[in-house]
Amino acid sequence: MEIIPAIDIIEGRCVRLTRGDFSKKIVYSDNPISVAKEWESKGVDRIHIVDLDGAKSGRPVNRDIILKIIESVNVPVQIGGGIRSLDSIADYINGGARKVILGSIVFEDEYILKEAISRYQENIIVSLDVKEEKIFIHGWLKETEFNYIEIGKNLRDTGVKEFIYTNIKRDGTLESPDIDGLKRFIDSVGVPTIASGGICKIEDIKRVKEAGAVGAIIGKALYEGKISLEEAIKYAH
C-alpha cells in the first residue's frame, strides 16, 4: 500500500481544513514546495495536492505553484481541485502530473468524464467525497443524490480505474478513518481505492491496508506530528 502525504493549497499556502470547512483553516507553511521536498526526502510513494481555492471556485486557481511543485520533486504527483474541463486535465498532465483527480465534474458532465477516460484513462482518479453514503461536490458544499457504492459501480463500468474514498465527517478531525464505509466500497466495486480522511495513527494505516486500500492519504496527522512518515511507510509496505 502506498503512503501519500497531502498538500492542500489556499492562496499559495499549505493549509488543512476540518471537515472541508473553509472557516476552520490552519496554515502550516507558506512554502508548499519545501513541504513537498520534505515529504519526498522521507521516501513517500506519491504526493497528493489539492487546490482548495479551485475546488471552491470551479477552476484551477493555484496552477502555477502546483506546476512548480511537480517540477521540484521526482515522485509521482496527483492533482485535484477545480479540474472541470478537458483543457485543465490536459494542462496538468502535460505539466507533469501523474494523476488528475476528478470530482464535481464527474457528476455533472458525462461527456467530459467519458472523453477524459478515452484520452487519459491511466491518469484519471475519481474522488468520492461521502457523507451518510451520499456524494458531495463543489468543495463538499453541495449534496447530490448519488449513493457512493452505486455510483462507484457505474463509474467502474464506464472505465474508471482508481478511486479516492473520503468520509467528509472524518477529514481533518484526527478521529480515525471510516473503515466500514471504505471496506464496503472496495468489496462492492472491486476497483483500486485510496483511503482518505481521519487517518491519525499507525493502527489506522494497518486497518486501511487490511480493508484492501491501495493507498492512504495522510494530512493533518503529519503536520501535527501524530504520525511519522517513516513509520507509516514501514507498516504500509
> Can you tell me the distance from the alpha carbon of 89 to that of 99, in angstroms, rounded to the nearest whole number?
9
Q: Name every residue whose Cβ is closer than 8 Å to that of residue 235 and which is 6 or more positions away in sequence.
A: 202, 205, 206, 209
Instruction: Tell me if residue 203 falls in helix, strand or coil.
Output: helix
Residue with C-alpha cell 474508471? 160
The catalytic residues are: 8, 129
Cα Rg of the chain (Å, integer): 16
Instruction: Tell me if residue 151 falls in helix, strand or coil.
Output: helix
> Can you tell me the distance from the alpha carbon of 98 to that of 45, in angstroms, rounded to the nearest whole number?
12
- φ, ψ dihedrals at 118, nearest 5°: -60, -40
